[in-house]
A and B are shown apart, each in its own frame.
Chain A
Amino acid sequence: MATTISAVPFNGTKEQEQELIELIAAHKGQKGALMPILQGAQGIYGYLPIEVQKLVAQHLGVPLEEIYGVSTFYSQFTLNPKGKYKVSVCLGTACYVKGSGDVFAKLSECLGIEGGACTTDGKFSLEACRCIGACGLAPVMTVNDDVYGRLVADDIPGILAKYAE
């Protein structure tokens, strides 16, 4: 199994680190401190990369593996940052039967990332979502606030090109 360390370079700031350390100090010694700390850490950084989890391990005195276990158990936590453009494909029932699986696979191929990951330049992140209430346009995907419907896999390169700058 490949490592899940994010390929996107970490660029946390000193201020963020300070904020996290204060947050840990505020919860240290409490029973069940890890959950609120991880929620807070994700609030500060937007995700929980190894650099952030190491800080938590170090300052809270909890093994890194235990923190990683918790962060991969709850789907609310993410190990990867969101890209500048957040690509989200509906894999809900209606979209799925209309072929959104192929659209998702094409995106994964074009961007070179798995679902849940972010391209190394920080530009695109890819994720699957459930129904966004636009079943009439199935299959549907969104790029930030832009909605694209009635997609086929071949539409994907053209759509991505629009965001290439």
Chain B
Amino acid sequence: MEMVNIEINGMPLSVPAGSTILEAARMHGIEIPTLCFLKEINEIGACRICVVEVVGMRNLVAACVYPVAEGMEILTNSKRVFASRKTNLELILSTHNRSCLSCVRSGNCELQKLCKDFRIYDETLYDGEKPASDYDDSAVHMVRDNSKCVLCRRCAAACAKWQDVAIIGPNGRGFNTHIGTAFNQNLSDVACVSCGQCIVVCPTGALAEKDNTKDVWRALGDPTKHVIVQTAPSIRVTLGEAFGMHIGTNVEGKMVAALRRLGFDGVYDTDFAADMTIVEEANELVERIKNGGKLPMITSCSPGWVKYCEHYYPEFTENLSTCKSPQQMFGALAKTWYAEKTGIDPKDIFVVGIMPCTAKKFETKREDESASGYPDVDVALTTRELARMIERAGMYLPKLPDEEFDAPLGTSTGAGVIFGATGGVMEAALRTAKEWITGENGEAVAFGEVRGTQGIKEATYKIGDLELNVCVASGLKNAKKVLESVKSGEKSYHFIEIMGCPGGCVNGGGQPVQPTAVRNFIDLKARRAAALYENDESKAIRKSHENPVVKEVYETYLGSYGSHKAHEILHTSYKKRNRF
């Protein structure tokens, strides 16, 4: 690697040529604060918080985009740099809604931290006219409050460049510039897929999930309700982050303890329903291949992806597996099989999902998701909302004991847990399909080709006489590429796994927010996924069809895979939605 010699704050350093000042400084442990910079997708040098002084240059430069050069002398902490950053912050604050005490991001707001670091002692210094702002709570999954927007455009970049949706973006000009939808329509009226990627990259409280914790508190306080909770596979490896734990720490046992102490009548695992999904979906795939059904079959676990498909590729809705997502399968079985088994009236069962996802909130409200006649799932909370409930209840997660999920809906396999990472559903399905088709019963085989954080992965597996072409995509921009290649006939697959968020659920829009100081330099999705695969390795049972409770449900209740009853309870339907 070609290196150049520079000096930062008087220290002589050797750094790779072509790196930015920000990267070069970071390599040597020097932090330069940023606000608008989001690696690879929003490198626009707009907010001027990262400005540094380059000796000999008239103006300060934006460290996030300015490349180093041989002999460059850089000052990151000079008086002039501090004064400039401080003024920039004061100007941002002049139009900011400073209701920090009641803000959802109080405590992990990037603007708040900058103001603290630069000792802003008078946030009203440049108070004056404020631009008109809107508050949009029309959507099921999130709230937009432009009065807290700093116009960094990170949300717009995530929406356009990761998800290729571009449903929100900068509109207007100058003082009236604002982030919004086309023609200022309500978010519920445009083709937003509800993925929430805009929320996890927002530095402030301008974008947030719609808080449903009050609905859960109310249910928990209602003695007539049997309130049960399910946790999605990825929550156990991300919840700890909200309590300052290392990224990629598995806190399954502590999470279970916290939920039990919150007062849930049953603490269960969506992983169980993931196992159900696998057997039902693998069966659907085999049926489609055998009977000339619609191929490629595409997974339907990710509600952001499903909504994207309905809006943007309605011609592919018949390719979607009709299997409900694990969240919904869990709720459907809780209010049918479990209700019957426990003798509790399904109307009194209140099912809460803890999800890595804002689109799961939308999913609970979809049509054809009420197997018992009551909604399969009553409330879906994000990881962040659960963390807030735990905090409010006065629990410090790292200090809780490790407890185990309840039976029967807490019994799961390693195949279920890897659902939380891109490629996990595919691998879990392949483990089961391989045994069904070949009749072999051996160790769980890892299907390495479908693991990893790349946006698109392909593989061909020979299973018995069948050559199975599979593809795994995560992030909707990648989904689009795959769908276009199928549409044009360039590619031919039997089975495609698509997750709406880049990297899958571990990087979902409902996960704990990590500031860009972390996000820009650490691959969150890889670290979190590694913890899931580790968890899989440690499990005694690693194939979905070997889950004893899954077996029991089919033997005593549903009959066989893909039976009429299984279809009534575990399958759903889709509809074509408009793009505009």
Which A residues fall within an 8 A CB radius of B? 1-5, 50, 53-54, 57-58, 63-69, 72-75, 79
Query: Is the Cβ of B169 less than 8 Å from the Cβ of A69?
Result: yes
CA A74 to CA B174, docked complex, whole Å:
11
A54 nearest CB across to chain B (Å): 5
Cα A116 to Cα B168 with chains together (Å): 23
- A3 near B184 with CB under 8 A, answer yes
Would B170 and A4 count as touching, CB distance under 8 A? no
**Which residues of chain B in 169-197 are interfacial with respect to chain A, using CB atoms and an 8 Å cutoff?**
169-173, 178, 180-186
CB <8 Å contact, B184 and A65:
no
Whole-angstrom distance between the alpha carbons of A34 and B16 in the complex? 38
The stretch of B87-95, B159-167, B284-292 in contact with A is B159-167
Smallest CB-CB separation from B135: which chain A residue? A1
Is the CB of B106 closer than 8 A to any CB of chain A? Answer: no
Whether A66 contacts B160 in the complex (CB less than 8 A), given A1-B132, A1-B134, A1-B178, comes out as: yes
* Given A1-B184, A3-B184: A54 touches B169 (CB 8 Å cut-off): no
Task: Please tell me which one of the listed residues A2, A65, A73 contacts residue B181 in the complex, with CB atoms under 8 A apart.
Answer: A65
CA distance A4 to B184 in the complex (A): 6
Could you jot down 7 A-B contacts, CB within 8 Å? A1-B132, A50-B183, A63-B166, A66-B166, A72-B173, A73-B172, A73-B173
Cβ of B580 within 8 Å of any chain A Cβ, yes or no, is yes
**Contacting residues, chain B, for A1 (C-beta < 8 A):** 132-134, 146, 178, 180, 184
A-B pair number, CB within 8 angstroms: 57
- List CB contacts (< 8 Å) of B212-238 with chain A: none
Q: Closest chain A residue to B159 by CB distance?
A: A65
In the complex, residue of chain A having the shortest beta-carbon distance to the beta carbon of B177: A73
- A65 in complex: contacting residue of B132, B169, B172, CB < 8 Å: B169
**B166–A72 contact, CB under 8 A?**
no
Distance between Cα atoms of A1 and B176 in the complex (Å) = 12
- Residues on B lying within 8 angstroms of A by beta carbon are 132-134, 146, 160, 165-173, 178, 180-186, 580
Q: By DSSP majority rule, is chain A's interface helix, strand, loop, or mixed? A: helix
Taking a contact as CB atoms closer than 8 A, the residue among B132, B169, B173, B580 that contacts A66 in the complex is B169
Give Cα A61–Cα B164 distance, bound, in whole angstroms.
11
The reply to whether A67 and B182 contact each other, CB–CB distance below 8 Å, is yes
* Contacts A1-B134, A1-B178, A72-B173; A63 near B165 (Cβ below 8 A): yes
Q: How far is the CA of A5 from the CA of B181 in the complex (A)?
A: 12
Residue of B nearest to A73 (CB): B173
> Residue of A at shortest CB range from B170?
A69
Which residues of the other chain, B, contact A72 by a CB distance below 8 angstroms?
Answer: 171-173
A58 to chain B, nearest CB (A): 8
B480 to chain A, nearest CB (A): 11
Expressed in whole angstroms, the minimum distance between the Cβ of A56 and any Cβ of chain B is: 11
Which B-chain residue is minimally distant from A54 (CB atoms)?
A: B580
A75 to B181, CA, bound (A): 19
CB distance from A119 to the nearest CB of B (A): 19
A65→B181 CA distance, assembly (Å):
6
Q: How far does the alpha carbon of A54 sit from the alpha carbon of B168 in the complex, in Å?
A: 15
Which residue of B169, B183, B184 has the most chain A CB atoms within 10 A of its CB atom?
B183
Cross-chain contact B134 with A68 (CB below 8 angstroms): no
Q: Which residue of B lies closest to A63 (CB)?
A: B166
| Least distance between A117 CB and chain B CB atoms (Å) | 13
Chain B contacts of A54 at CB under 8 A?
A: 580
Contact A57-B172, Cβ < 8 Å, known A4-B183, A67-B182? no
B562 to chain A, nearest CB (A): 39
Write the nearest CB–CB distance from A45 to chain B, whole angstroms. 16
- On chain A, the residues within 8 Å of B160 by CB distance are 63, 66
Give the complex CA separation of A69 and B182 in angstroms.
Answer: 7
Does the CB pair A65–B168 fall under 8 Å?
yes
Instruction: Please tell me if the beta carbons of B183 and A68 are within 8 angstroms of each other in the complex.
Output: yes
Query: Do B580 and A57 touch (CB < 8 A)?
Result: yes
The answer to whether A64 touches B180, judged by C-beta atoms less than 8 angstroms apart, is no
Q: How far is the CA of A68 from the CA of B165 in the complex (A)?
A: 14
Chain A residues lying within 8 Å of B185, measured Cβ to Cβ, are 3, 5
> What is the chain B residue whose CB lies nearest that of A67?
B182
Q: What is the chain A residue whose CB lies nearest that of B167?
A: A65
Query: Shortest distance in angstroms between B40's beta carbon and chain A's nearest beta carbon?
Result: 19
Q: How far is the CA of A162 from the CA of B185 in the complex (A)?
A: 36
Bound-complex Cα distance A33 to B69 (A): 36
Provide the bound-state CA to CA distance between A2 and B169, in Å. 17
Taking CB atoms, residues of chain A closer than 8 Å to B173 are: 72-75
For the complex formed, measure the closest distance between the CB of A155 and the CB atoms of chain B, giving whole angstroms.
30
Question: What distance in Å separates the Cβ of B132 from its nearest Cβ neighbour in chain A?
Answer: 6
Min C-beta distance of B166 to chain A, whole Å:
4
Q: Which residues of B contact A64 (CB under 8 A)?
A: 182, 580
Contact B171 A68 (CB under 8 A): yes
CB-CB under 8 A for A65 and B178, given A1-B184, A73-B173 = no
A121 shortest CB reach to chain B, Å: 21
Q: Which residues of A contact B166 (CB under 8 A)?
A: 63, 65-66
Assembled-state Cα–Cα distance A1/B166 (Å):
19
- A37 to B160 Cα, complex, angstroms: 21
* Distance between Cα atoms of A131 and B484 in the complex (Å): 54
A31 to B182, CA, bound (A): 22
